[in-house]
Amino acid sequence: MAKFGDLVQKAFYLGVGLASYAGEKAGETLTELRAQAQKLADELVAKGEITAEEAKRMVDEMVIQAQQAQASSPGDRPAEPRRIEILDDDEPTKTVTPEAAPSQADALRTQVEQLQEELRRLRKDS
């Protein structure tokens, strides 16, 4: 059971680390976008095509649009959290086909009944 606890703890820390890394990358991307937009605005101001105030407004609008596009992109975020299946290396994996499910259920019921009977017998003996 200690192995499972360690595994859950490692999975949690991995998730926290990935979230932190993604946040840092998103911040870096927005910072790079702001720098590029500012450079473009400075070039337009130098050419006399726009004023400094218009350039500042343009940069702010570009960054806001990028933030909104990043937050509302449906392809990046799944509708529900991704499920993680934890497999034990010691036990072989078994795939259940729809045809085999009823027979496996019957076998499990029989096994449970046998274990219950053995438990009753052990209680009587004690």
- What are the sequence ranges of the domains in the chain? 12-71, 97-126
What's the predicted TM-score (pTM) here? 0.39
Helices 2-47 and 52-72, axial angle in degrees (round to 10): 150
Segment 55-82 shows an average pLDDT of 72
Count other Cβ atoms within 10 Å, centred on residue 117. Answer: 10
* Cα 81 from Cα 126, distance rounded (Å): 49
Question: How would residue 111 be classed by pLDDT, with cut points 50, 70 and 90?
Answer: very high
Pick the most confident of 35-39, 68-72, 84-88, 108-112. 108-112
Segment 23-28 shows an average pLDDT of 74
Segment 72-87 shows an average pLDDT of 66
Q: Are 55 and 42 in contact (CB under 8 A)?
A: yes
Within its chain, how far is the Cα of 112 from the centroid? 37
Q: Are 25 and 17 in contact (CB under 8 A)?
A: no
Report percent pLDDT > 70 for the chain: 79
Q: Tokens representing 57?
A: 């407004």
* Cα 112 from Cα 82, distance rounded (Å): 32
- pLDDT tens across 91-104, in order? 555 555 656 567 78
